[in-house]
Structure 1
Amino acid sequence: MSASRPRLSRVRQHMVIWTICGGVLTPLLPTNSYALDPSRLVQSQSRSVSFTIESLPLRAALLEFSKQSGIQLIYVAQKEPLQNVPALKGKYTIRQALRRLLRATGFEYEFSEENTVTIRTKGDHTDKIPQNKNDISSPQTTTEADNNPAAGLEEIISIGSRAKGRTAVKTPVPVDTISARSMMATGETETGRILQSLAPSFNFSSSSISDGTDAVKPATLRGLGPDQTLVLINGKRRHTSALVHVNTSVGRGATGVDMNAIPPSAIKRIEVLRDGASAQYGSDAIAGVINIILKDQSDGGNISSSYGQTYKGDGDTFVANGSYGIKLMSRGHLTLSAEFRDKKNTNRAGLTGCLQFETGGQKPCAEGNIAIDPREASFERKNFRIGDSDSRQKALVMNMALPFDDNSEFYMFGTYSDRDNQSAGFYRRANDVRRTVVELYPEGFLPLINSRILDHSILAGVMWDMGRGWTLDASATTGGNSFQFIIANSLNASFGADSPTSANAGTLKINQTTVNIDLSKAYEKANIAFGAEWRHEDYRIIAGEPVSYQNGGQFNRNCPGCDINPIPYAPGFQVFRGFSPDNAVDEGRNNLAIYTDVEIEILNNFLLNVAARFEDYSDFGSRINAKFAARYQISSAFALRGSISSGFRAPSMQQKFFNSTSTQFVEVNGQSVAQERGTFRNDSTVARTLGIPELKKETAINYSLGFVATLADNLTMTADYYRIDINDRIAISGSIPIGDDFPLVTAATGATDGQFFTNMADTKTQGVDFVLNYNVPMKSGHRLMLSLAANKTETRIKSGSIASPLPGVDGLVLFSPQDRSIIEEWQPSSRINFTLDYGYKQWSFVLRNNFYGSYVVCEGSCNTTTGPGQNIQKFGSKMLTDLQLSYFLDKARVRLILGANNLFNIFPDMNKIGQSRAGSIDGIVSSPGVFTYSRRSAPFGHNGGYYYMRVVKSF
């Protein structure tokens, strides 16, 4: 404890210095050129604009008004008329257009600044109306982080419904919307962690010593797999990560999108559709859809820098980012965002209790050992790294729209991310006679995995008004992800002392090209859309350097008894054996889809949505999916909603073709033991000889039923029950010994055991989502918003659905109790989020509690809950508290932020199972093992408390 105090003091000094520098220097930067000038205010109000706004709900019409005029709207009215407002087409001044849109609605407008208009209920002349767009006293005001023309209308969403202008509470399915302001108020620096902090149905579990999974965490919705959630950018399908999670972690056997490749500084809002949507968006949308909307301002922007550190003095994180909008022609925009993030590793490892050197015939890891080698006394026993890995990321995002007439535009966006990640494996002891060459590492070594993760995408499209109300949206996008493994501080022991200590172990690559053509037409009471999609995917595994995978044939003759009976060294680089030419892959496939999506309003209070989609894959066949959703407005304060849909997920390219040999540590008698395990592709000779069938698609049926209630002015509540039945769920099998049946394979790959992807079981997931939002009426200058969101979910494998595809091999061998536990128990059974957001003039205060329910982790045979040999552990629920305080300097347009996440320094329960390096040495060490906290699943990590400061300059 005393060792960390000086460092903490230095960090506090740095934070004070950063704060002072921000306050002194930022006023020198350019400020907003649009000061409140009466002459310019009149000029803005009297200018004419050509409007083309269809008959839409009020908020949707106002959103179109904002887009077409460039006027920022702040919406402080609490209710909205049920009927659509009349269409607005032609050339009008700003005031004329507003009067026509608000006629007979019960609302009025007021200019509070040259380019800002407040919409409110007639007669509501309280002091809630902001006098400045940076005044945080308004319930719906924007901040410098939300510098966009329609920030006050963020409830309007673009997923779950193809009808323009549908608000989140008026869709027939549940949709969460997360604004840039809410994202900044979390204090988190990664998109995945931000979503986890704000959306209880979303999980972003951490693990350690899990190869590439240390760098790309699995992102899941409703407790399902990372590959059962579809991710969109600006409504367009996003490519996945090249990595597939093959180690023992949440998401084992699945791949997903690298959520952290999109920097938070580029995001305007995130929409989370909590419902099956394969009939609307295609494969993968079983648990739901996450749609990331990029910033699109045409003027101004912000720059920001932040620094933070854990209470224990590690995990230092520095972030510098910014975004800037440029106006193109009269109504176009080019928005550029950039971010740099440097995050140091954290370490919560325990001490190793094993003998590192000469054993004198003793078991290296046992109780009561006696040191033979004097070096044992001074050896550094905290030699594992269990925690967050080192990470350094550079990211760029561009978003552009260029109108070429009043109703048509060309649009484009692109993303680029370059991330370097470093994680560690198991420490190799000096007395490990097969894996350590003492001439190179006389005290053993900690092998490191340096991952280079590149992610890129570019999309271009045109939105074209075809006349008679028809709109064509045609776009093409291409993007990809690559994951390169560079192994350092390691060796290929089979080359003896001639082995290099670092090597390129190979690269995984995935590329995706998608072309979309969508046609839609909005009627007064209906919306019809149909279209087609063509997609091509390429998957590659590129072999590493020969030394990373070859067998050099050297023997260890420098160990007790080895002069007489030499021991062969293990081939391949330690921690991650490189991909060989036999592992190399270059495969592709095509997919063609057509869809139709119809929404119709019946009798003003009943909304019906019907969608159907046909998909045809070149490698496994076709599938038709359908969806029926409805919303019934019983009264102005209460509505029922529900849906039933079919869904599917095509086997990913990674699941079909990934293959490798890796060292995996498995539980044997309570200790982790190394095993050389091969992952064999589904069409390999080994898989075919064993009888592993070809992969087929997963299919699903989704049900949901819920309600939306307006309990009082400013108080809304939603609750939704859901059930998701998935058949033929794809999983990676348990370990099967192959040495006896395939000696040549073992000789070539070094693998003594094998695992395969196969359609393994059927599952049932059910649960409840609950959301309560209250905008508390306050006195002048005050703002208070309360929100409570919760998710309860449970996944169970259906009885009798686990069937072995191999004759004579029991299904419980192929799909072990641990594999079953990963699907059913490794994620929290419940999540609750409570947020209190209070503002007074320039001050803002956010208090957030995140509750993580209990979860279970098991090892090996998963059959002992207590006592010696325990291999099942239930981890208790925890409540984490986050706190943020900020102050906005009006003249400088600078926001100063201080905060703490996990304020009370909460950790998961101490780990009792799957230990490694437990033991004691008389007079030196006694340790229960190095895994103080579970390395398998840590829903909120195991870093403890974290404090930070941030400076944001707007212009």
Structure 2
Amino acid sequence: MKKLLTLLFAFAFSSLSWSQMKISGTVKDATNEVLPGANILEKGTLNGTNTDFDGKFQLTVKEGAILVVSFSGFETQEITVGGKTIFDITLKEGLQLDEVVITGSRTPARSNTSSPLPVDIVGVKELQATGQTTFDKALQYKIPSFNTVNTPVNDATSLLDPYEIRNMGPSRTLILINGKRKNLSSLLYTQTSPGRGETGADISGIPTDAIKSIQILRDGASAQYGSDAIAGVMNIILKDDYKNGSATFRSGVTGEGDGEMLGVSINNGDKIGSGKGFINYTIDFSKTALANRPGIVDAEGEAADFGADINDVREFLSRRPDAGNINGSPETTAAKFLVNGAVDLNEKSQLYFNAAYVYKKVNSFANYRTPYWRTLDDYPYLANFFPGSNPTNPRGYDGYVPTFEGNLNDYNGTIGFKSKLNDWNVDASVTFGGNEQTYSISNSHNGNVVLSPTTWVDSNNNGIVDLGELSESSQLYRENSPISFDPGGTAFNHVVGNIDISKVLSDQVSIALGAEFRTENFEVIEGGLASYDGGGADSFAGNRPENSGNFNRYNLGGYLSLDWDINKDFLINGTVRAENYSDFGSTFVWKTSSRYKFADDKYTLRASVSTGFRAPTLHQIYTQKAQYSFVPGQGIQVGGLVNNVSPQARLLGIPKLNAEESTNFTVGIGGKPFKNFSFTIDYYSIAVDDRIVLSTELTPPNTQAFAGLSDVSFFVNAIDTKTSGLDFVFSYNRLEVGNGKLGFNLSGNYTIENERDGAVKNPAFAANSGQSVVNATQEALFFTSRPKTKWILGTTYDIGKFGFSVNNTYFGKTTFKQQGLDSNLRTEFTPKIVTDFGVNFNVDKNWTISFNANNILDVLPEWSFKAENANGQAILNDPAQVKTQSNLITFNQRYSQMTYDGYHFSQLGSLFNLSVNYKF
């Protein structure tokens, strides 16, 4: 019996050995170039491998196995092993896998070349090649119609820079993650800078290493996706590979030796179950030090603004030429976590999920309070609060600089179910997302007179508080003030439920329909008493109880979409959508688009026309606060932002907000006339009615309701606008030069018009008092504060183990009409070209070293005055008046590089980055 068992075991072992075999081979392209990273999979199993740096692979498979060989940008091949052990495989170029467009249409996916809509597709390697430290800054140097810029005065804005597509503001671009709506930030931009009065999603917090590709739809898409998609849609597609993990170490420094950056990230994954289930995760930690770029402050301007003795000002500036100001790029610490995955429930059903959490801490500063601005005559206790080294003041008091610390928590997650039922594709999901920003103020004080009623004695019996009757115990603040404050913050969250159903009815017709339910909640978090009482902390007032609270709304929408391929060349798409909001009612929008291919599919004509809408955000409806701002010639003043549902709004006669409405038109042509060359040219026109704006600062009525405020502002549907322009993309790649491959990509955006259409719709309060909610400064921020044209010329050359890239970004003219600037003048930022250089060295199949020198020529923004007329030219002919005007818009040269209201691109000068990547 034992011999029989031994014989059976030996037979089974020999049979098993005979059924398995070891194979090897090389994968190349049609030009005989090896393809590192190509995927070889034994069909029907999870057994597979990838080619190494030399395009070679080894794998143990069953003798009768079929190999599935794939690589991005090439046609997938299936090869039967058939007893063969050595393979020489050649893949043909085909549809690029990352060009399957899922953005802009609800019907089953189509390739980019046949899409009736203009879509930019950017892979993660292209983003990483920019050398930029955050995702939004990388897009700035890859997408011409995308712009973002650091704001001159940071405060809460330091947590999240405003961005926009086609000069339409951050709130008119919808952000999706894997096709699902991402939550808005809780931050409302209220500074007088680009993006004023709007809010957007925090895309800077998304770790680049977690991204597979980006699809940017440059067309209105409210009919497909609902509110916020007037300018376009950005769909961030996450990595879905459980193999090919890597770890990256990043470091960097500016050419000035500051702004040091250190970061480390890990991206990896694993399979789930026996099917195609996977999980991919990313962990990213980074810290960036302060990069300070203050200006040299003008003494005469300071003395005039603050009514100070010129000698005192000069003495202080002799020791602190920048007046102690700290501005530039703040110290930032970030931790980012993201996971993406899916599990096959059966052959036709899948459970999918993704989740992300981002924590950011930012340390920035308010304007320095100089000793001639915050004087000991007015605040004698400051010498005890902020002792210094000034020999002319008690205890060396030399002013102080309040700090601003911000903490951001942003999270989002989606869980969904996909299935195929009777050839219908069904996708049901629920998405959660939120953003909370809380702040703290240090090195400041509450200098307001707020009395304790239990300690004040009316010794004169006149019912009036006389200075002689006050004691230290009578003062709640001033000499009794804390120097650190909790001003509160804001929070926003939403819950979104989606169900999307689609089917290919025939070779010619596809249909899609679906519904969305969304609930949103905006919270204004109350600050500590000392942060707002009597006017609050010196630099950043906290949220008062009457302005704080939770505010909620919900909406329900549904859509129907139909694609009809009239023939193999001609496609027509139509989409309609109805939506109802709990706070302002219903809306109905539609879209139709078409595409026609000709000349053997080498060229494609495409066009679309649509209507759209943008709902006012809860931030715009409910934000009310006092805020500090710089008023030219008057220094820092306290203004009030009045919301549209407050008693103050009723006193001013401010109407409630309605949704914006838009009409979009796009027409373009794309083509691939010969191998390796492709192009697209698209014209767009966007008309927006009842655009919501944050008004300029208006003088309020002289009533108790507005006591202590230098001005008031509020949100209002104030203007109609029209924007049009051209987008260009030209690509010529894989050219054989020497022993390497050369590639070119030229893309550009040119704004034809971006302007107000018709008169400003002023509320009665503004019109009756001779004021307007939109002034010249506002007009410039809306329409000319982004480059009129922007071009990106990228060149790559790959040879052996090296890859080289040179990127030139041209920022065109930008025009401002800053607060306080004489109406006969304007400022223009000079067109500039920023040059970036990068090199990659593939040490072996696991290690890659990358070096980037961004802005290698150390190009900085430059501006100059331009005369609007003869009166303006007379000002420019007088150096004294020029100096006065310059001081007005730079806060006496504190912000000499960018002016107080903004500039056309963010630059700290040259930036050098080094990264080391290890593939697992």
Give the shorter-chain TM-score range.
0.7 to 0.9
Cross-structure match for 2:724: 766
- 2:646, 2:351 → 1: CA distance? 46
TM-aligned CA deviation for residue 900 of structure 1: 0.3
- 1:116, 1:726 → 2: CA distance? 60
- 2:577 equivalent to 1:613: yes
Amino acid across the alignment from 2:713: Q
- 2:609 equivalent to 1:644: yes
CA deviations over 1:584-605 (Å, ceiling 9, x no partner): 0211001000111111211110
TM-aligned CA deviation for residue 667 of structure 1: 2.2
Alignment of 1:25-44 (within 5 A): 39-41=21-23
2:410 counterpart (441, 444, 455): 455
Cross-structure match for 2:632: 667
- 1:899, 1:41 → 2: CA distance? 40
Contact 2:606 2:669 in 1 (8 A): yes
TM-aligned CA deviation for residue 811 of structure 1: 7.8
Structure with bigger RCO (C-alpha 8 Å, 6+ apart): 1
1:722 counterpart (684, 698, 703): 684
Q: 1:782 to 1:67 in 2, by over 3 A?
A: farther
Cross-structure match for 2:547: 583
Contact 1:491 1:500 in 2 (8 A): yes
Contact 1:215 1:389 in 2 (8 A): no
- 2:701, 2:632 → 1: CA distance? 20
2:520 counterpart (537, 540, 554): 537
2:213 counterpart (239, 264, 269): 269
Cross-structure match for 1:408: 349
RMSD: 3.4
Structure 1 residue ranges without an equivalent (≥5): 1-37, 46-61, 75-91, 122-138, 141-149, 552-570, 920-925
TM-aligned CA deviation for residue 607 of structure 1: 1.1
CA deviations over 1:307-327 (Å, ceiling 9, x no partner): 111111111111111100111
Contact 1:354 1:366 in 2 (8 A): no
- 2:366 equivalent to 1:425: yes
Q: 1:426 to 1:649 in 2, by over 3 A?
A: same
What is the SS of the residue equivalent to 1:260? coil
- 1:604, 1:237 → 2: CA distance? 33
Amino acid across the alignment from 1:951: V
Cross-structure match for 1:515: 497
Structure 2 residue ranges without an equivalent (≥5): 1-19, 28-38, 52-62, 387-396, 449-476, 866-881
Amino acid across the alignment from 2:132: E
Alignment of 1:928-947 (within 5 A): 929-947=894-912
- 2:605, 2:254 → 1: CA distance? 45
Cross-structure match for 2:761: 803
Give the alignment's TM-score, normalised by structure 1: 0.80
- 2:640, 2:313 → 1: CA distance? 37
What is the SS of the residue equivalent to 2:806? strand
- 1:195, 1:371 → 2: CA distance? 47
Contact 1:235 1:291 in 2 (8 A): yes
What is the SS of the residue equivalent to 1:296? coil
- 2:854 equivalent to 1:895: no
Amino acid across the alignment from 2:427: D
- 2:278 equivalent to 1:348: no
Q: 1:820 to 1:792 in 2, by over 3 A?
A: same
- 2:813, 2:315 → 1: CA distance? 45
- 2:86, 2:681 → 1: CA distance? 38
Contact 1:348 1:933 in 2 (8 A): no
- 1:64, 1:936 → 2: CA distance? 57
Alignment of 1:424-443 (within 5 A): 424-431=365-372, 432-433=374-375, 437-441=382-386, 442-443=397-398
Amino acid across the alignment from 1:889: V
Cross-structure match for 2:511: 528
Alignment of 1:196-275 (within 5 A): 196-275=140-219
What is the SS of the residue equivalent to 2:778? helix
TM-aligned CA deviation for residue 580 of structure 1: 1.0
Contact 1:366 1:918 in 2 (8 A): no
- 1:600, 1:310 → 2: CA distance? 54
Contact 2:502 2:511 in 1 (8 A): yes
What is the SS of the residue equivalent to 1:443? coil
Cross-structure match for 1:842: 801
Contact 2:828 2:864 in 1 (8 A): no
- 1:73, 1:623 → 2: CA distance? 51
Contact 1:205 1:219 in 2 (8 A): yes
Is the deviation greater in 249-258 or in 377-386? 377-386
Contact 1:667 1:859 in 2 (8 A): no
Cross-structure match for 1:732: 694
CA deviations over 1:33-89 (Å, ceiling 9, x no partner): xxxxx94548999xxxxxxxxxxxxxxxx9999999797999xxxxxxxxxxxxxxx
TM-aligned CA deviation for residue 199 of structure 1: 0.5
- 2:821, 2:368 → 1: CA distance? 26
Q: 1:735 to 1:632 in 2, by over 3 A?
A: same
- 2:501, 2:594 → 1: CA distance? 22
Cross-structure match for 1:503: 485
Cross-structure match for 1:907: 860
Amino acid across the alignment from 1:459: T
Amino acid across the alignment from 1:451: G
TM-aligned CA deviation for residue 371 of structure 1: 4.2
- 1:339, 1:519 → 2: CA distance? 36
1:189 counterpart (133, 137, 143): 133
Cross-structure match for 1:305: 249
1:855 counterpart (792, 802, 814): 814
Cross-structure match for 1:676: 638
- 2:299 equivalent to 1:386: no
- 1:164, 1:73 → 2: CA distance? 30
CA deviations over 1:136-189 (Å, ceiling 9, x no partner): xxx99xxxxxxxxx9x51111210223434122221010011101101110011
- 2:165, 2:776 → 1: CA distance? 23
- 2:500, 2:112 → 1: CA distance? 22
1:466 counterpart (392, 404, 421): 421
Alignment of 1:166-181 (within 5 A): 166-181=110-125
Amino acid across the alignment from 1:702: N
Q: 1:656 to 1:313 in 2, by over 3 A?
A: same
Contact 2:41 2:49 in 1 (8 A): no
Contact 1:387 1:941 in 2 (8 A): no
TM-aligned CA deviation for residue 931 of structure 1: 2.8
- 2:658 equivalent to 1:702: no
Is the deviation greater in 611-620 or in 376-385? 376-385
Cross-structure match for 2:788: 829
Amino acid across the alignment from 1:270: I
What is the SS of the residue equivalent to 2:127? helix
TM-aligned CA deviation for residue 810 of structure 1: 6.6
Q: 1:934 to 1:300 in 2, by over 3 A?
A: same
Cross-structure match for 2:7: none
What is the SS of the residue equivalent to 2:693? strand
Contact 1:829 1:853 in 2 (8 A): yes
CA deviations over 1:13-42 (Å, ceiling 9, x no partner): xxxxxxxxxxxxxxxxxxxxxxxxx94548
2:562 counterpart (598, 620, 625): 598
Cross-structure match for 1:561: none
CA deviations over 1:202-255 (Å, ceiling 9, x no partner): 001221214222221111000111000000000000110001111101011111
2:597 counterpart (612, 621, 633): 633
TM-aligned CA deviation for residue 471 of structure 1: 1.3
Q: How many residue pairs align between the two structures?
A: 811
- 1:734, 1:67 → 2: CA distance? 65
Contact 2:858 2:909 in 1 (8 A): yes
Cross-structure match for 1:880: 834
The percent identity for this pair of structures is: 29
Alignment of 1:334-345 (within 5 A): 334-345=279-290
Q: Mark the structure with the bigger radius of gyration.
A: 2
Give the alignment's TM-score, normalised by structure 2: 0.83
Q: 1:317 to 1:419 in 2, by over 3 A?
A: same
Amino acid across the alignment from 1:656: I
Contact 1:350 1:929 in 2 (8 A): yes
Q: 1:777 to 1:941 in 2, by over 3 A?
A: closer
Q: 1:887 to 1:796 in 2, by over 3 A?
A: closer
